[in-house]
Each structure stands twice: as structure tokens, then as C-alpha cells.
């Protein structure tokens, strides 16, 4: 089967592409390799994928409609699209909000508009985020909760992408599945994420910046569990025409427990500098994964201490 994966050199895109290639599929990978975080890490991921003969890579921006159109004309036999390309990062959206509109909205619209002309396309899976739940105080977050009160431009851009997807399903019958990811972590992860920043600070004997608050917690989801969840949806025979699923661990972990796990796995004590939490950051997240479990039987298996050990083993090896 032929897959198109945008953001193929990104964290989730890389792991998904690797899993699909290992199964003998053909993957068309697209990524602009921007410098939001180290392009060297993105290139290192891409180099691993290029070891597969059935991987084709194109460096381009998904918002570049003419360039994207030329690629899709070459690969008109694409059956599944995973649109995982995104401008990520909640705090960075305060500095450069236009980057989020460009990639997360215009880029997503470009994919939708071009995809509806692909003759063999079966479905689009696209990356949303737990951030769409915004100022919602009710935990756990359910797909049925309101998502019209975003706390950041990043969250607003992801909710806008969901609305565009529904519109294209309504107008053109494009079958689509939205994926609301909850704090994905693990080897080859993003250096802007808290667990990576904390590990780097501990390794360099620098203080960790930790937001104040007794309820500061996240639903940390290990990368291999995420990929298993995506594969379970991909192989599900009775997906609806349009739907959205939470992809989370469904377990609330205090951020301080994350630090404890890092200290144990790295055998080093962290120095902590506490500051006030900015209003762009949600205090707590927790996923209700009842919907995807009922549909596919998927549930995550990796405990936080296990996942952090896997991550730090990779982190120390990669940085050495």
C-alpha cells in the first residue's frame, strides 16, 4: 500500500513511517526540515528512513500548493494520507503566530484540497492535539467536550484544522480521522518538550524550569503506544466517514513524578527553579480513550518510568 506522510522527519511521523516501511509498504515522505528545533535531529531521522528502498522523500512546505500538487501527480496511487506536519509548541505561538496559520491551517487546507482529487485515496488521518480542549476544566477530556475556548494560537490552529476537515468531509465525502495526541514522548523525541529539556538540563547540571502549582500534570503517552494506536485505526474495518479520537495514556502523572523518573534513570539529581505558570499552558491533561478502545481494542501499555528509561538510554547514546 502507498502512504503519504507529511512531517515524515518529525517525531511521530518518523516512527510511523518506520513502522509502515518495515511492513513492506511504500511511504512518500514530506518535510520542510525547518529550524524550529535542530534540523540535524530531523535529518538523522530522515537518514534512517532513507535506508528503506520503498521510501521517497521530498523536502518542501505543505503550504506550497504548486509544489505539493506536482508531487501528488507523480504519486497518484496514494491510498492513505497521514498529515502529521505541524508547527508545534504552545509557547512559541506567542512569538510567531503566523507560522501556525501557515502550516497548521493553510498547509492542512492544501492537503485537503489536493487529496480530494486523488483517485485511489481511501482516508486521511491528521494530527490534532489535546491542546484543543483549552480552558476546559473537566477531566478526563472526552471527544464530546467543547473545544471552542483555546488558550493559545497553537490550540486555535489545531481546532481550525478540525473544522476544515469536517467541512471537506461534508462537501466532498473525504473520509477522515482526527488524532488528538496527548504529550507524546520517547526516543527521537522533540527537544522543545519538557521531558527532553529536563533531561538536557540534568545532564548539563543546569536548573530545570518548573511551573508552580500542585495540580501540574500531564497524560504522558509513549511513542510506541501511539504508533500501535495509529496502526489499530488503520487496520480497523469499520471506521466512520468522519471521526476524532484521543490518543493518550489515560493516566494522569504529576510533572514532578516525571522529574523523579528522569533522576532515577539518569542517576543524577535535578536542580529546580520554580516560576509562575503562563496562561498559555494548560494546568492538567487527561485523556478519555473509551472511544478508540471500543472501536479498535487499543490501549497503551507503557508505564512512565519504563518509557523514560527507554528515552534516557537513547538520549545519552545520541548525544554522546
Residue at 190 is within a domain: no
Across the chain, how many H-helices and E-strands are there?
12, 13
Residue at 306 is within a domain: no
Q: What is the mean pLDDT of residues 274-294?
A: 88
For residue 206, pLDDT over 90 is answered with yes
Residue at 6 is within a domain: yes
CA 158, 291, 174, 83: dihedral to nearest 10 degrees?
40
Catalytic site positions: 154
Query: How does residue 165 score in pLDDT terms, banded at 50, 70 and 90?
Result: very high
Residue at 83 is within a domain: yes
For residue 278, pLDDT over 80 is answered with no
**Taking all residues of the chain, what is their mean pLDDT, rounded to a whole number?**
95
Instruction: Decide: 29 and 9 in contact? Cβ < 8 Å.
Output: yes
For residue 196, pLDDT over 80 is answered with yes
Residue at 67 is within a domain: yes
pLDDT on residue 79:
98
CATH number, domain of 58, equals: 3.40.50.720
For residue 90, pLDDT over 90 is answered with no
Query: How does residue 215 score in pLDDT terms, banded at 50, 70 and 90?
Result: confident
Q: What is the mean pLDDT of residues 45-57?
A: 97
Helix, strand, coil percentages in the chain from 3-state DSSP, rounded to 5: 45, 20, 40
Q: How many CB atoms lie within 10 A of CB 173?
A: 10
Query: How does residue 91 score in pLDDT terms, banded at 50, 70 and 90?
Result: confident
The helix or strand, by DSSP H or E, that contains position 19, with its residue range, turns out to be helix 11-22
Q: What is the mean pLDDT of residues 282-303?
A: 96
- What domain range includes position 67? 2-182+222-248+288-300
Beta-sheet pairing, 176-181 with 123-129: parallel
How far apart, in whole angstroms, are the C-alpha atoms of residue 149 and residue 255?
A: 24
Residue at 282 is within a domain: no
How far apart, in whole angstroms, are the C-alpha atoms of residue 117 and residue 229?
A: 28
- Residues present in the chain in total: 320
Residue at 199 is within a domain: no
pLDDT on residue 145:
95
pTM for the whole thing?
0.95
Q: What is the mean pLDDT of residues 139-156?
A: 94
Number of domains in the chain: 1
CA distances from 306 to 138, 185, 246, 302 (A): 28, 12, 22, 6
Residue with cell 539518569: 266
Amino acid at each position: 500500500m502507498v502512504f503519504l506522510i507529511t512531517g515524515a522527519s518529525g517525531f511521530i511521523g518518523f516512527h510511523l513511517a518506520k513502522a509502515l516501511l518495515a511492513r513492506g509498504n511504500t511511504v512518500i515522505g514530506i518535510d520542510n526540515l525547518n529550524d524550529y528545533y535542530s534540523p540535524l535531529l530531523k535529518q538523522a531521522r530522515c537518514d534512517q528512513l532513507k535506508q528503506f528502498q520503498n521510501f521517497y522523500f521530498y523536502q518542501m512546505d505543505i503550504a506550497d500548493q504548486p509544489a505539493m500538487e506536482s508531487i501528488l501527480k507523480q504519486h497518484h496511487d496514494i491510498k492513505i494520507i497521514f498529515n502529521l506536519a505541524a508547527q508545534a509548541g504552545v509557547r512559541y505561538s506567542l512569538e510567531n503566530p503566523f507560522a501556525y496559520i501557515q502550516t497548521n491551517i493553510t498547509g492542512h487546507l492544501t492537503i485537503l484540497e489536493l487529496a480530494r482529487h486523488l483517485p485511489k485515496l481511501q482516508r486521511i488521518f491528521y494530527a490534532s492535539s489535546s491542546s484543543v480542549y483549552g480552558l476546559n476544566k473537566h477531566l478526563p477530556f472526552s471527544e464530546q467536550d467543547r473545544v471552542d475556548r483555546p488558550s493559545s494560537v497553537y490550540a486555535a490552529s489545531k481546532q481550525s484544522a478540525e473544522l476544515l476537515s469536517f467541512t471537506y468531509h461534508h462537501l466532498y465525502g473525504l473520509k477522515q480521522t482526527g488524532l488528538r495526541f496527548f504529550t507524546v514522548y520517547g526516543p527521537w523525541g522533540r527537544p522543545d518538550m519538557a521531558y527532553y529539556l529536563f533531561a538536557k538540563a540534568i545532564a548539563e547540571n543546569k536548573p530545570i524550569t518548573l511551573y508552580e502549582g500542585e495540580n501540574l500534570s500531564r497524560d504522558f503517552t509513549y511513542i510506541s503506544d501511539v504508533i500501535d494506536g495509529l496502526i489499530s485505526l488503520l487496520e480497523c474495518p469499520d471506521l466512520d466517514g468522519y471521526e476524532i479520537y484521543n490518543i493518550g495514556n489515560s493516566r494522569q502523572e504529576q510533572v514532578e513524578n516525571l522529574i523523579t523518573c528522569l533522576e532515577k534513570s539518569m542517576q543524577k539529581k535535578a536542580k529546580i527553579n520554580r516560576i509562575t505558570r503562563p496562561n498559555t499552558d494548560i494546568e492538567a491533561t487527561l485523556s478519555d480513550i473509551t472511544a478508540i478502545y471500543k472501536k479498535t481494542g487499543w490501549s497503551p501499555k507503557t508505564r512512565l518510568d519504563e518509557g523514560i528509561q527507554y528515552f534516557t538510554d537513547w538520549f545519552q547514546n545520541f548525544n554522546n
